[in-house]
Chain A
Amino acid sequence: MSVSKKVVLVGHYGVGKSSLIRRFVQNIFSDSYQVTIGVHILKKTVSYKGEDITLVLWDIEGKENINQSRASYLLGTSGFIFVIDPTRDTTYQNLKEELIFLEKNYPKVPVIKLVNKSDLINIDEFQKVLAIQNLEIDFFSSAKTGENVENVFMQLVSKMLGA
């Protein structure tokens, strides 16, 4: 019986949460946009330090604020991935407040801060944008190219298990 961990992807609609999960679990990507409503759960078992870990990935409907999400969706979460879209500044304008909200309501639950759609931007330029706004980011990924997707989840696994 493997360990199972609930992971929730949060962030605005359209930032690529569903795409990241689909890329990670099924290794597919589609350019067409299918709006997620409610919640859709997929899982994937990974091995970490010789142990099998089942990641239960909650792909929830994108909201402008996390506290608008249905409380039950976030129950029992072991790790968050906060996804932003670098081509839309509205998706990271209140990133700080969102992180504070998570910190307060889900203390000790690790959060990975992720810039998705890195294929669409010049990463160096965007680093400057982030620096100006004093925002810290853990990863740049692209669900489209697959860049860093695996690493993001593995990093979260190590944070969840290391905690």
Chain B
Amino acid sequence: MIDDIREKLITPKNQVVLLNREGQIIASDNHLFTLTIGSDIAQLDPFFETVSALIVEENQHIPFNCVTIPDSNNKLQYYDIELHTGSADENPFLIIYDFTEHYEYIQGISQEKNELALSNHFEAAKNRQLVAEKAFKNKFLANISHDLRTPLGAILGFVDLLERTGLNYEQQEMIQTIRQTTLHAKGLIDDLLDISKIEAGALKIENKTFDFTDLMTHLEKIYVPKMATKHLAYKMEIDASIPNYLIGDKVRILQILINFLDNAYKFTHHGSITLRIKAGTIADKKMFLLIEVIDTGIGFPGNKAGTRKEIPIDSFTKFHTTEIEGHGLGLSIVKKILDLMHGDMQIDSEEGKGTTISVRIPVTIDDKVNTKKQATVENTYQHVKMSRSYKLLVADDNEINQLLLTKILVKHGGFYIDAADNGREVLEKVTQQDYDLILMDIEMPEMDGIEATIAIKKHPSASTRNTPIIGLSAHELDSNAGSTFNNAGMSGYVPKPYTREQLFQEMYRVLKIELLPQ
């Protein structure tokens, strides 16, 4: 039985070859390879080339494991080969074992193992490179944006100085363009800095106590005049139950709100913009600020009227970037900041009807300092409907300034404008007719703005006496300049150079056509 098995299964798997000292075959059982007596064993495979060199030394038993010898079809077969070098009275011989099946199995495992190791290596290397590249890019971005801010600041500073050097009208216009462009660039660079910080994980969300009412007042100051210049109604609906002292990142919350309100301002041409903030449910001193910025602007194309629906933030950003001026970084930054704050945001829009951006920002209520003071901001500002036109007298000896001012006023609409070159001319004009308001330059030849104001306030005609006057002066406003104008009888004061917003804000206030709470 055993002999049968050996005969059938083991014998055919090995071969014994007897050699002479020259490496020629003397005898072979030819179970595996058919060898010709007398031929050189090296003819079987180059492996055996070395055998003749090795059999020089007697009484050696050298095993060679896993020797690959292709068969006649060039299919790899694997053998263990033992070389016995024999002695003076014993011929060298080889025993060849066919272990193809066993080694094929081993080969399969090695193949898998090595391929995996190689691909792991290259994946890891690729990752390391990506991480390094990204870190480099972010560092570069952060540095360059930081460095770019300094020269931009210098440009803005010099633009201000240049503006006061008596430029002609054309130059003034160009200076305005330079200022706008530089501010735009500065905005982009600030965004870049934020982006690189976010990407580098360097943007940290502060958790500090802040005064919520202050924040709202700040926004009010910025947007009341700004919205008015575009004839937009601006409503602030702030939930009175929001505690005044909150813990969170005031600067970032402000950045988010400014972003939304600026967007709304940009994309809304009539109607209103509403900032609505509600308190979410309070749990364990934590609550969400539920913020909505609702505009009646151009909306998102594709969402036809009556189909207001949610817009993915990416497509909204993309639309704003590609279809409309702007860089579209703003919203993506907001999104990332919100992520860092664990807040979220949603955009609903309808073409031609408007857009509503809703965000939820988590804050913590600061109990220690939350006294009885409550945030109660509930104001709705409505830009004056300009139910009538106002008659203005613009007094400036500088023709260019006159022109510039007139241009701003005409663009705003709702004003009849008359001009005077000096105080004396102002006096003549107010005697001839009544004005709703005088915009008075202070430094003028013959009779300056202060003298003219004093004279007007002593005018025999009551209607002339009561004409409100706003002083315009390029002099740096020192602490008592305001009161000087006040003492002379002026109703208001705007320092030069002024922005449209500053000018109109003061005009609305003095003319009492200002944005009345509804």
Contact = CB atoms under 8 A, between A and B. Distances in A.
Given A42-B46, A56-B50, A34 B64 contact: no
Given A38-B68, A40-B68, 15 more contacts: A4-B49, A13-B114, A14-B114, A34-B111, A37-B106, A38-B65, A38-B103, A39-B68, A40-B67, A41-B67, A41-B68, A57-B46, A72-B62, A75-B54, A75-B62
A56 B54 CA distance: 14
B377 interface: no
A22 interface: no
Given A37-B66, A37-B78, A76-B50, A90 B107 contact: no
A132 interface: no
25 contacts: A4-B49, A6-B50, A6-B53, A13-B114, A14-B114, A33-B114, A33-B115, A34-B111, A37-B78, A37-B103, A38-B78, A39-B47, A40-B67, A40-B68, A41-B46, A41-B67, A41-B68, A42-B46, A54-B49, A56-B50, A57-B46, A61-B66, A72-B62, A72-B65, A90-B121
A163 interface: no
Contact of A43 (B49, B110, B111, B114): B49
Nearest to B53: A76
A90 B62 CA distance: 32
Contact of B118 (A14, A42, A57, A61): A14
Contacts of A37: 66, 68, 78, 103, 106-107, 110
A36 B103 CA distance: 11
Interface string B29-68: 0000000000000000111011001100000001111111
Contact of B65 (A54, A57, A70, A90): A70
Nearest to A14: B118
B353 to A, nearest CB: 59
A35 B64 contact: no
Interface in B236-283: none
B78 to A, nearest CB: 6
A51 to B, nearest CB: 17
Contacts of B66: 37-39, 61
Contacts of A14: 114, 118
A35 B121 contact: no
A88 interface: yes
Nearest to B76: A40
A73 interface: yes
A76 B111 CA distance: 29
Interface in A1-42: 4, 6, 13-14, 33-42
Interface of A: 4, 6, 13-14, 33-43, 54, 56-57, 61, 70, 72-73, 75-76, 87-88, 90
Interface string B65-76: 111100000001
Given A34-B111, A56-B50, A41 B65 contact: no
Nearest to B113: A35
A6 to B, nearest CB: 5
List of 10 A-B pairs having minimum Cβ-Cβ separation, nearest first: A38-B66, A40-B68, A43-B46, A41-B46, A35-B111, A56-B49, A41-B47, A35-B110, A37-B107, A35-B114
Contacts of A54: 49
Contacts of A34: 111
A15 to B, nearest CB: 11
- Residue in B46, B64, B76, B111 with the greatest tally of chain A CB atoms within 10 Å: B46
A42 B47 CA distance: 8
A13 B110 CA distance: 10
Contact of B54 (A33, A43, A76): A76
Interface range on chain B: under 10, 10 to 19, 20 to 34, or 35 or more? 20 to 34
A75 B110 CA distance: 25
A14 B76 CA distance: 19
B64 A88 contact: no
Contacts of A42: 46
Nearest to B103: A37
A88 B49 contact: no
Contacts of A35: 107, 110-111, 114-115
Given A70-B65, A76-B50, A41 B114 contact: no
A54 B47 CA distance: 13
A39 B47 CA distance: 9
A57 B122 CA distance: 30
A39 B64 contact: yes
Contacts of B118: 14, 33, 88
A57 B49 CA distance: 10
A73 B81 CA distance: 12
A145 to B, nearest CB: 21
Contacts of B115: 33, 35
Interface in B115-144: 115, 118, 121-122
A13 B115 CA distance: 10
Nearest to B112: A35
A48 B54 CA distance: 25
Contacts of B106: 37
Contacts of A90: 121
Contacts of A73: 64
Contacts of A76: 50, 53-54
A72 B68 CA distance: 15
Contacts of B103: 37-38
A150 to B, nearest CB: 19
Contacts of A56: 46, 49-50
B110 A39 contact: no
B348 to A, nearest CB: 52
Contacts of B67: 38-41
A34 B70 CA distance: 14
Contacts of B121: 88, 90
A86 B62 CA distance: 36
A62 to B, nearest CB: 8
Contacts of B49: 4, 6, 41, 43, 54, 56
A56 to B, nearest CB: 4
A84 B107 CA distance: 22
A76 to B, nearest CB: 5
A72 B111 contact: no
